[in-house]
Chain A
């Protein structure tokens, strides 16, 4: 027992060792990249659905560039973040060539591991600048350098069990603000016994404050402002947490402890009526509850305050190229093949419902067809409407991980110990400022 624990500590310190080694020696590697014909072999790191879709795209890519070998690996999510972190800490040792990175991790990799991700402007990324949804290019760029190409742009959505709400006599499409959602939830529970939604109250998973974050983003707010100040307990934050507290106090929130598996099982059981989840979640519902076809509908979320925004890009994922990659040209060609060809994105959307950031892809009829599963709604158009609206560029900063933990803790205090939203958020904001040396903006 002791020895193994000790090994863990050693592994940590060894990681630090390699890290400092790379800190002192390595400079951002600038390999002159000539527009060479893609050749050789590359490895692609991703997870689950996206990995499966990229595997399907490989034959087409190889047909275009014969002799190229592409190995798409499903590393799993969240395992991929630990694996990329350790790889970066080891100066890029053992990393894949193409890395699929979520917007929540991208800034940390860019800022804390200089040279860890290749600057794609040297590979000609600039020509794709105008091709993506608003705000996407700013998300992947830092000081004139481009570190990734955008893949999916997920808008805030509001998936609901239309059959249950109908039974409760509630017209969901007529709801405009979250206070009305609470009233609807009370009726729903009385008539059907179903909870309105589920939250992982004890924060057993790091993403348990998704709804809070989503409600902040609907108000053009986030944990940090563009200057990097801590903005957790701004009026937007307090409004968001107050809604969550009201929902919970009204007994409308089921406990989603255990994360993903619990969420899937509540969908199957049908005891939770709303999933306030982004675009990509539609595919998950359809895949896991095929028997509930026709029972689900989707709309953009109600606003936090009357007249407020109902559209927000809540998260996005991107393909980056490792700075340590020996075959950056081929890696970039593959990323381009997957992300900048409407055909590829349409294929991926058909397979896994992953919403493209590539605007040209939306010309395909698939985005304008009624969805059989979602009661004949034109789901693609609903979310496209959101993407076309001006988007708030979220500054995740390199300290998103810390912010997330403190927000999780604050939410747990509010939901399980009845804490006051403003006080709990104030405590979190102060602690975050203290840990990161940032200023609090209230």
Chain B
């Protein structure tokens, strides 16, 4: 084999992946940007410049969707990640019995598809015939009241993702060097101080990872609110993803849907950069 061929070989190896990426990702991404500059009604289009974007800024439902997404981000994500951290420490504890079984139990929900577990929650939380109200002996209007619908969504999301995040934390926890704990113990640090000054700093990279991943996941939230209430009641669970879907596939307004997609992309990008800046290693 000639040197030239050797040099070219790596490019051939990545070519299939690159080609697929270009066809199925790059091309649609570029095209949807163009589409976002057109006023579309099904197959009819006319160039509209930034009209879809100005319309977005003036659209109360877009802001409702953004607020709803922000609420999940500000409430559900921190609770879930704190819970995951606590769980991971419990999983790592020498006191825990049936360790693999318990870990597996918490991890399993992530294996369930969002539609499947969304349906499961919708059935369980059905205000009239659901198991949850029956078991609690209560009459909570899960899914039909704006507040409780948001609680229901938070419960479903937490159930699904907490185990996965706990596993990510656990993997890091197991890799933390024991000598730092020993040193801290010698210096007289208690359990709480060891957690605060040894565990947390050591966990920083995975915390950043999970925060960023959860943020992106939340901003793209679609399946769960769609299955639970289709975004209702009165837009209580309307997310950007749902509003995008509605505009594209229910209202045939693909140009506007593309504009929403790009607004979403910009928001994700900006939030991602901020999070990495704030949470990065300060060394």
**Chain A residues close to B by CB (< 8 Å):** 1-2, 5-6, 8-10, 12-17, 19-20, 22-23, 26, 82, 85-86, 88-89, 108-109, 111-116, 201-206, 255, 257-258, 262, 265, 398-399, 401-402, 405, 408-409, 412-413, 416-417, 431, 434-435
Contact = CB atoms under 8 A, between A and B. Distances in A.
Given A2-B217, A5-B220, A17 B31 contact: yes
Interface string B106-138: 000000000000000000001111000000000
Contacts of B76: none
19 contacts: A5-B220, A10-B25, A12-B245, A14-B24, A16-B40, A16-B248, A16-B255, A16-B258, A20-B45, A23-B45, A89-B43, A113-B42, A116-B43, A201-B233, A202-B144, A202-B149, A204-B232, A258-B128, A401-B250
A417 B44 CA distance: 39
Interface in B7-50: 24-25, 27-29, 31-32, 34-35, 38, 40-45
Interface stretch (B53-61, B88-96, B273-281): B53-61
B234 A112 contact: no
B234 A114 contact: no
B42 A257 contact: no
B41 A203 contact: no
A366 to B, nearest CB: 38
B69 interface: no
Given A203-B233, A398-B41, A412-B232, A12 B31 contact: no
B213 interface: yes
Contact of A413 (B127, B129, B234, B245): B234
Contacts of B232: 202-204, 408-409, 412
Contacts of B261: 9, 12-13
A13 B144 contact: no
Contacts of B213: 1-2
A6 B25 CA distance: 9
A14 B28 contact: yes
Given A10-B24, A413-B234, A431-B61, A23 B44 contact: yes
Contact of B254 (A16, A201, A206, A257): A16
A402 B243 CA distance: 11
Nearest to B25: A10
A15 B32 CA distance: 9
Contacts of B251: 399, 401-402
Q: Which of A113, A115, A206, A258 has the most CB atoms of chain B within a 10 A radius of its CB?
A: A258
Contacts of B31: 13, 16-17, 20
B216 interface: yes
A17 B143 contact: no
A202 B217 contact: no
A19 B42 contact: yes
Contacts of B58: 434
Nearest to B233: A202
Contacts of A6: 25, 220
B112 to A, nearest CB: 12
Nearest to A10: B28
A171 to B, nearest CB: 31
Contacts of A203: 230, 232-234
B235 interface: yes
Contact of B229 (A14, A115, A202): A202
B249 interface: yes
B181 interface: no
A5 B144 CA distance: 26
B168 to A, nearest CB: 13
B257 interface: yes
A112 B41 contact: yes
B250 A16 contact: no
A89 B254 CA distance: 10
A204 B222 CA distance: 15
A266 to B, nearest CB: 9
Contacts of A265: 129
B41 A111 contact: yes
B252 interface: yes
Q: Which of A9, A22, A265, A435 has the most CB atoms of chain B within a 10 A radius of its CB?
A: A9
B127 A257 contact: yes
Given A19-B42, A255-B128, A416-B145, A12 B250 contact: no
B58 to A, nearest CB: 7
Given A2-B216, A255-B127, 13 more contacts: A12-B254, A13-B28, A13-B31, A17-B28, A20-B254, A26-B43, A82-B249, A108-B252, A112-B42, A112-B252, A203-B230, A255-B128, A412-B234
Contacts of A9: 220, 244, 261
Nearest to B113: A4
Given A202-B144, A417-B234, A405 B246 contact: yes
A13 B43 CA distance: 14
B250 A405 contact: yes
A397 to B, nearest CB: 11
Contacts of A15: 248-249, 254
A5 B222 contact: yes
B44 A114 contact: yes
Contact of B42 (A13, A398, A413): A398
B261 to A, nearest CB: 6
A22 B43 CA distance: 7
Given A14-B28, A17-B28, A85-B252, A431 B60 contact: yes
A17 B32 contact: yes
Interface in B194-238: 213, 216-217, 220, 222, 229-230, 232-235
Contacts of A115: 43
Contacts of A20: 31, 34-35, 38, 40, 45, 254
Contacts of B27: 17
